[in-house]
Chain A
Amino acid sequence: MSSLVITLWILNVFFDTIGQVAFKYAAINPSNRDGWHYWSDLFRNHWLWLGIVSYIAEFLLWLAFLTLVPLSQGVLIGSINIITIMIVGRLLFKELLTRYRIIGMILITAGVICVGIS
């Protein structure tokens, strides 16, 4: 893989993770959940907009990435976002790291490495 492909891959995972975290913050932000107020609160939430901007960036980065790699390889190494989300979930939201989760993360990482070097 060329350095451009690797850069696009890392940026993709980065924006995906930022987007998911931003949406999580937007979702858990306490707001007035009453009809119109709910929507007006939601759309004034900065996290929501950060999430949307990240997703637009990710959309374009994913297109650029797929121009350079075969689709089957692209979707496989793209699954590394599962790992980054779990690590961020652990760090920011104190989500559990159970034995099964650790085994799953190791297997996925090993799989991504196999596909990446193929």
Chain B
Amino acid sequence: MRKFYLIGFALLLFFDTIGQTSFKLTANHSEPLEANIDWLIRIFTNPFVYIAIFAYISTFFTWMVLLKKAPVGPAFAASHLEIVTVMFVSIWVFNEEITLMRSIGAALIVLGIIFLALAEKEINQRQEISK
């Protein structure tokens, strides 16, 4: 059972990260940004946009399977923690700079997500008791 969660959460993070990375690659390839049909053509003739769509659909199905069994608190947190993995990929693939301010912001957001996950757990327990 533990293996099921580990693989499930790892897959969720993996697909989410691949999805966001492909989004950024598509965005870079379809520059310049214009509000016209040419921009849309540039997007949909780029292979990365299809990887992004595929990753999104995979994330959705992984999430659905996971949600059937996983406890709601950790599941909630796991579904949002892709921001951490995406940050590392951004440094590696796009040579982005993670400034001090951005690191502090990321830490606060992650901490906030952990609190929301605790809240989900607490609300779930309360509902279990009242049942």
The main secondary structure of chain A at its interface with chain B is helix
Comparing B3-11, B63-71, B110-118, the segment that makes contact with chain A is B110-118
Task: Report whether A72 and B115 are in contact in the complex, using a CB–CB cutoff of 8 Å.
Answer: no
Give the residues in chain A near B80, CB-CB below 8 Å. Answer: 79, 82
The main secondary structure of chain B at its interface with chain A is helix
Chain B interface extent, by class: 35 or more
Task: Report whether A76 and B109 are in contact in the complex, using a CB–CB cutoff of 8 Å.
Answer: yes
With A67-B27, A75-B87, A103-B115: A117-B101 Cβ-Cβ less than 8 Å: yes
The distance in angstroms between the C-alpha atoms of A104 and B118, with both chains bound, is 9
A52 interface contact, C-beta 8 A: no
B59 interface contact, C-beta 8 A: no
Give the residues in chain A near B54, CB-CB below 8 Å. Answer: none
Chain A positions within 8 Å of B, measured between CB atoms, are 60, 62-64, 66-68, 70-76, 79, 82, 86, 96, 98-101, 103-118
Chain B positions within 8 Å of A, measured between CB atoms, are 20-21, 23-24, 26-28, 30-33, 40, 43, 49, 80, 82-83, 86-87, 89-91, 94, 96, 98-99, 101-102, 104-116, 118-119, 122-123
